[in-house]
Structure 1
Amino acid sequence: MQLTRAELFSQIWREPMGKVAARYGLTGNGLAKICDRLNIPRPSRAHWMRNEDARDERPDLPPPPVGLSEAVALGARQPRQSPGTRRRMDSGSRRDQILDASAAIALEEGLSAVNVRRIASELGISETQVNNCVGGRTELLISLARREVVQQERSRRTRVSRSSDRHTRIVLSTIGYLHEAAKRGPLLQMLLRVPEVKVALRAERQSATETARAPIVQRLTKTGEMDVETARASTAALTAVSLKAGGIVAAGRAPLGVVEQLCLAVIMAGVASDDRIASGG
């Protein structure tokens, strides 16, 4: 059957890959490989854990690989690029491609399926190229986890920047974190269960947390009504509430909307209590 890349892109973001694949007499993995070969972004398993409104968010469809058309013939052998038309990627783009492929495999098949040989096979490149870009398997997993943390924080900061009001920023920060936990959390949680990854990221995550808490502690102790230890303890407790809520959302143990509502209620009650103490009220 013939259809366009845009039509296939729309279908796989509207329904799970397995369901779309069955419609054309393919396996989910077979359809995933066709999408990758034709440069069609596909959703991760975590995408289907999100609520219906959140699932409307999707990336743009990039152009087809050089030498391939917009037409897709499902059920037929897909044309490969000839060596003469293959475009050489710069190291940054290749690294991103490797990390994207690693994330897709991890979410669909688990971390045990992620290794240099599998990535090289999926992308049609040599194992040496993978090693040159990201190192061995452990370095690959650490790089993937680090990228997830950075993108999660970047998204949260973007949301927070929309307001200058402190309470509104707290609300936006909490909502932003929970939405990113729903979107990226399953992969990050999976990666942080790997001891080498957890150890490698521990220091920088702790540093980032301390940097984020410092201005909050400073504001709470500015009037002298709250001591530093109390301010730190309160800030750590409220942070723990957000982290726990994010873990629940990432694991799919409760709907995002319910967790968001309860988490915000606890966080804002804690913020109001801190404000009263800090102001001597």
Structure 2
Amino acid sequence: MSRKAPMLDRAELYEAVWSSPLTEISHTFGLTPGGLAKMCDRLDVPRPKRSYWRLSAKERTALRPPLPPYEPATGKAKTVSPKMKRTRLPIRERQAQLLEIAARIVEQEGVDEVSLNRLAREAGISQAQAHNCFPRRVDVLAELARREIREFERSRQGVVLRGQDRITQIVLSTVNYLNEAGRRGSLLQSILLETDVREILRRERAATRAMLTDPIINSMSMTYGMSKEEALGSNRLVTALCLRTGRLIANRDLSIEAGIRLCLPMVMGCVRSNAQRAA
């Protein structure tokens, strides 16, 4: 026998989804969490974002919207974006499209709102096609983080090449990084809130760290007459300082101008200290 679609009362559904997460109540309606979310969308029943459940009860009450009227004859044409025309794209272009959609969702609504189902819906493709591009949600977020890190590095290399000496290159690199943190760093910081994404990137960095840092450490050791342990420690301290300042700027806890004023003298102080040691 075919399974009949459950008959739902909109007011009952509204009360349920604003009282408990979909994952906890979907079974009472005979649906999966995703199916219940679709039912809410179909009946024009607003539902909370995942981040809603992290708030206090008082904050949740303030954010809860009223149940809007529903007109079955017209449906949700006024509130739902028109479906995109489905087109076949090479997988790399489709992946890039999904990453752009994911980036917009993270910036406008938060990383919790990113799901493969939603990406597929907004791209106008099937869920199977989205899964062909990225098997899991975490794969989307990890690749988006890699894209942002590559953009940071591409920008840094572009300005460093303009420096005629090592000191100028360090100044240009530091200022550029902090400017980029203010311009696009909030997206990366939001993605890195995901533990699984951080773990994936940590493993990748561990695999390439020696290849990337050994030349720097060897150069510092030879230039400043430092042991490799001291050179590594100095490099890590300066890197940590810049990353922390960039994080404050990205989170809007510090302006770009203030970050540069505070961070750059400390970076240069470390560089000059190393140079004086070699003198």
Normalised-by-shorter TM-score class: 0.5 to 0.7
Answer yes or no: is the 8 Å Cα contact 2:224–2:275 preserved in 1.
Answer: no
1:231 aligns with 2:259: no
Q: How far does residue 236 in structure 1 lie from its aligned partner after superposition?
A: 1.1
- CA gap 1:243/1:201 in 2 versus in 1, 3 angstroms: same
1:251 aligns with 2:257: no
- CA gap 1:242/1:128 in 2 versus in 1, 3 angstroms: same
Which residue number in structure 1 is paired with residue 171 of structure 2?
A: 171
Q: How far does residue 185 in structure 1 lie from its aligned partner after superposition?
A: 1.6
1:100 aligns with 2:100: yes
- Give the distance between the partners of 1:80 and 1:133, measured in 2 at CA: 20
| Structure 1, unaligned runs of 5 or more | 1-74
Kindly provide the CA deviation profile for residues 83-135 of structure 1, in whole angstroms up to 9, marking residues without a partner as x. Answer: 6xx65322111111100000100111111111011111212111111111122
- Give the distance between the partners of 2:224 and 2:251, measured in 1 at CA: 41
- Give the distance between the partners of 2:235 and 2:136, measured in 1 at CA: 38
1:183 aligns with 2:183: yes
- Give the distance between the partners of 1:264 and 1:211, measured in 2 at CA: 27
Answer yes or no: is the 8 Å Cα contact 1:103–1:187 preserved in 2.
Answer: yes
- Counterpart residue identity of residue 161, structure 1: L
Which residue number in structure 1 is paired with residue 192 of structure 2?
A: 192
Which residue number in structure 2 is paired with residue 264 of structure 1?
A: 264
- Tell me, what secondary structure is at the counterpart of 1:129? helix
Q: How far does residue 243 in structure 1 lie from its aligned partner after superposition?
A: 0.8
- Give the distance between the partners of 1:197 and 1:133, measured in 2 at CA: 17
- Tell me, what secondary structure is at the counterpart of 1:125? coil
- Tell me, what secondary structure is at the counterpart of 2:125? coil
- CA gap 1:172/1:212 in 2 versus in 1, 3 angstroms: farther
- Give the distance between the partners of 1:79 and 1:193, measured in 2 at CA: 32
Which residue number in structure 1 is paired with residue 29 of structure 2?
A: none
Which residue number in structure 1 is paired with residue 131 of structure 2?
A: 131
Which residue number in structure 1 is paired with residue 162 of structure 2?
A: 162
- Give the distance between the partners of 2:208 and 2:251, measured in 1 at CA: 24
1:1-281 aligned at under 5 Å gives the runs 87-207=87-207, 210-222=210-222, 225-277=225-277, 279=278, 281=279
- Tell me, what secondary structure is at the counterpart of 1:222? helix
- Give the distance between the partners of 1:209 and 1:118, measured in 2 at CA: 35
Answer yes or no: is the 8 Å Cα contact 1:163–1:169 preserved in 2.
Answer: yes
- Give the distance between the partners of 1:110 and 1:80, measured in 2 at CA: 22
- Counterpart residue identity of residue 197, structure 1: V
Aligned-residue identity in percent: 37
- Give the distance between the partners of 1:207 and 1:274, measured in 2 at CA: 28
Answer yes or no: is the 8 Å Cα contact 1:134–1:143 preserved in 2.
Answer: no
- CA gap 1:122/1:80 in 2 versus in 1, 3 angstroms: closer
Kindly provide the CA deviation profile for residues 153-185 of structure 1, in whole angstroms up to 9, marking residues without a partner as x. Answer: 121111212224111111111112112211222
| Structure 2, unaligned runs of 5 or more | 1-77
Kindly provide the CA deviation profile for residues 174-205 of structure 1, in whole angstroms up to 9, marking residues without a partner as x. Answer: 11211221122212112112111111000223
Which residue number in structure 1 is paired with residue 14 of structure 2?
A: none
Answer yes or no: is the 8 Å Cα contact 2:83–2:124 preserved in 1.
Answer: no
- Counterpart residue identity of residue 247, structure 1: R
RMSD: 2.4
Structure number with higher relative contact order (C-alpha < 8 Å, ≥ 6 residues apart): 1
Which residue number in structure 2 is paired with residue 43 of structure 1?
A: none
- Give the distance between the partners of 2:121 and 2:206, measured in 1 at CA: 36
Answer yes or no: is the 8 Å Cα contact 1:134–1:140 preserved in 2.
Answer: yes
